[in-house]
Amino acid sequence: MRTSPNVIITGTPGVGKTVHCEQLAHDTGLRHLSINQIAKDRDCFETYDDELETWIVDEDKLLDAIEDEMLQGGLLVDWHACDLFPKSWIDLVVVLRCPSTSILYDRLSSRGYKQAKLQENLDAEIFGVLSDEAYEAFDEEIVVELTSEKDDDVENNCARISAWMDSWESNQRGNTD
């Protein structure tokens, strides 16, 4: 049994997943697992999408690449999708949302996203695609949506997630007594 939880921090590109994971890693000691970096480092790609200018991840190869780490626990999983991960690997799913499309537009534009990729991500945020995926893939009680627009949001969200982690770890200790 894991002694530290695995938490997915997911959401549309530009909502602050990496910032949240880095802050949480600093605050909690859990390890930030950037799925984009893992996919690059361990060659977990199928093909390249020229229109969206992005690599398409081979999900089976990716899951095989991280399985041992996930089973150990103590990870903050940073990725724009969550529905490929087995339920047994995940203890909390945090969906970051940026309801202000103008803020999200500015964040994505500053990354140099081309119009097609920018619009696809704005549409995904507007229609709550990643929230829907999270609720379909995991039990409702482990999914939480948090707003990520202002600097204060990061601090408040991280405090909330850290408190959840403390409670999870306390419950785990209670179950082994």
97 assigned binding-site residue: no
Query: Which residue's entry shows tokens 């990496």?
Result: 18
Would you tell me how many other CB atoms lie within 10 Å of the CB of residue 133?
20
117 assigned binding-site residue: no
18 assigned binding-site residue: yes
19 assigned binding-site residue: yes
CB 96 within 8 A of CB 10: yes
| DSSP for residue 29 | -
144 assigned binding-site residue: no
Query: How would you write 112-151 as a 3-class SS string?
Result: CCCHHHHHHHHHHHHCCHHHHHHHHHCCHHHEEEEECCCH
143 assigned binding-site residue: no
31 assigned binding-site residue: no
Residue 21 is encoded by which pair of tokens? Answer: 């994971």
Tell me the binding residues for ATP: 14, 16-19, 111, 150
Tell me the binding residues: 14, 16-19, 111, 150
